[in-house]
Structure 1
Amino acid sequence: MALAPESPSKIILGSSSIARRKILAEMGYEFTHMSADIDEKAIRTEKPEELVMALAKAKAEAIVSKLQASVDKEKDSKHSILIASDTVVVYEGAIREKPESKEEARRFIEGYSGKYAETVSSVFVTNLKTGFTKGDFDKVEIYFHEIPDHVIDKLIEEGLVLKVAGALIIEHPLIVPYVKDVNGTTDSVMGLPKALTDKLLKEAMKA
């Protein structure tokens, strides 16, 4: 059960992701959102767990800097908790982020057909009043049936897969019939694991 925030603007979700906004709203929290606008490609590491944590922390630091530079101090003083996050897909040991082209998105999805992929999602919270920070990550394993070419064509044409890590959207109506098994939660695959987020938020609110 989510711990209700003290005011509508208490929490900032550091993401422009519609999926993450939807998940946080489903959890019962009221929040505002803003984008970090960092160069994610400038942050590299071979381990997916380290990468998503480094990216979430960088996003948080960028937003904190924005807030500190804001002239509207009275408004900003209402905010006390910042949530930043990141997600990557791991396929055959390789890290996959957002596809850079339709061709790459197609290659990604074709690779999942009849096989297995993993998502790694991080959550990093900051108490803007006390300076408390804490982060962690969550993993999900996804197994797929064979995905027909015409389904991949429709997904590419629609374009949503171009905006997510690994071109992977397991909750999409077109792909749902071809998801064989999920070891973990769909919200984690979508970019904001509810249980982890709720746990870290409560810790940050008490800090």
Structure 2
Amino acid sequence: METAANTSQFKIILGSSSVHRQKVLSEMGYNFTVMTADIDERSIRKEKPEELVVALAEAKAEAIIPKLPIGHFQKDAEASVLVTCDQGTIREKPSSKEEARQFIKDYSGGSAATVSSVLVTNLRTGFRKGDLDKVEIYFHAIPDQVIDNLIEEEMILNVAGGLITEHPLMLPYIKQVVGTMDSVMGLPKALTERLIVEAL
């Protein structure tokens, strides 16, 4: 299988402003540039989380591609790929501190699930391939004081479902992760690697 060691043969554009996704892609050994999609995510609605994250990843690609010099990519000897993605839970980002508190209380002693969508577009050939990755997270009971401290940082309001598993305050209360933490962070490594290879 082709790996990150072959990055000299192609260029990657990551269509995400997420520092977590950038960290994961860097850990995979890739050099990349970042572009963001200016879309209103709340205007895109789907019944199921799986359908929503796929639609959002596609919408991000559609928003970014017109900004790119596609003619240049088509003539370039090196392939260039655009990676867009979305990650969600069955819940939206909390609309208030009170809602975020309720979300975390619901996870306490229970579980949560995430679904990530990754879409890779070959900008030279137009080939596009996407897929999903799901993770289940099981929690110990989370003390009220920990919940209070998480809410005070307000970072939790920017995360789907208020599910901020990589936070140092939350980590001790994660009992089990069925899947990978990179998927929870929004960019499943194995899936992303496979799609990049298939797109080249």
Tell me the TM-score normalised to structure 1 length.
0.88
Residue 113 of structure 1 corresponds to which residue in structure 2? 108
Residue 63 of structure 1 corresponds to which residue in structure 2? 64
After TM superposition, the structure 1 stretch with the greater mean CA deviation from structure 2, 96-105 or 111-120, is: 96-105
Aligned length: 196
**Structure 2 residues not aligned, in runs of 5+:** none
> 1-side partners of 2:46 and 2:60: how far apart?
16
> 2-side partners of 1:165 and 1:44: how far apart?
14
After TM superposition, the structure 1 stretch with the greater mean CA deviation from structure 2, 42-51 or 186-195, is: 42-51
Runs of 4+ in 1 over 4 A off after TM superposition: none
Please tell me the residue identity of whatever aligns with 1:84.
Answer: T
> 2-side partners of 1:101 and 1:34: how far apart?
29
Residue 92 of structure 1 corresponds to which residue in structure 2? none
> 2-side partners of 1:14 and 1:173: how far apart?
27
Within a 5 Å distance, the mapping from 1:8-157 to structure 2 comes to: 10-68=11-69, 80-89=80-89, 95-157=90-152
Tell me the TM-score normalised to structure 2 length.
0.91
Which of 165, 169, 178 pairs up with 1:174? 169
> 2-side partners of 1:174 and 1:28: how far apart?
28
> 2-side partners of 1:128 and 1:68: how far apart?
9
Q: Tell me, what secondary structure is at the counterpart of 2:125?
A: coil
**1:26-77 Cα deviation digits (max 9, x unpaired):** 00000011110111111111111111111101101100012259xxx69xx6
Q: How far did 1:104 drift?
A: 1.9
Q: Tell me, what secondary structure is at the counterpart of 2:182?
A: helix
